Amino acid sequence: MPEAEENVDVKIAPEDIKVDTFRSSGAGGQNVQKVSSAVRITHIPTGIVVTCQTERSQLQNKAFAMKILYSRILEGELEKQAEERAKLKGKRIEAGWGNQIRSYVLHPYKMVKDHRTDYETSQTEAVLNGDIDGFITAYLRSIVGRQDI
């Protein structure tokens, strides 16, 4: 599997964002209905919208909203990388009982069985020493569907 870079450098261009200011809502105070301190930032390419109205200053709210926007874009990029990795890896099969290709029985009797093709042999020593031509032929026959192989 090819190595992917873990660090994703997210750059937010000023022309890619739209900044709106509005008045904060919530419990009273002298600033609430007079000063537009709340900030809404929209990232146009992705459609991500971040709103911040926790601070009293518009600059602080904008800085906090930019941090949140950066982290959400970064999270999206990391998800894209994870999806690409999953696509390259393919389906994952659990390595558990019942998922093996062959089973080897050495005691009380001797037998090697291929579970994909139901080919079996009692020559366990030969198979363990590398003589697996019978298994290969049986597998090719099962794939192609012909018996003349």
Q: Has this prediction a pTM greater than 0.95?
A: no
| More confident of the two residues 8 and 70 | 70
**20 touches 44 (CB < 8 A):** no
Q: What is the mean pLDDT of residues 40-62?
A: 91
Q: What is the mean pLDDT of residues 12-19?
A: 92
- Helix ranges restricted to H, the chain: 58-89, 124-128, 133-144
Q: What is the mean pLDDT of residues 108-112?
A: 94
Question: For 68-77, 82-91, 103-112, which range has the lowest pLDDT when averaged over its residues?
Answer: 82-91
* Alpha carbon distance 109, 118 (integer Å): 18
The CA distances from residue 58 to 15, 24, 52, in Å, are 20, 10, 9
Largest CA distance in the chain: 91
| More confident of the two residues 32 and 50 | 50
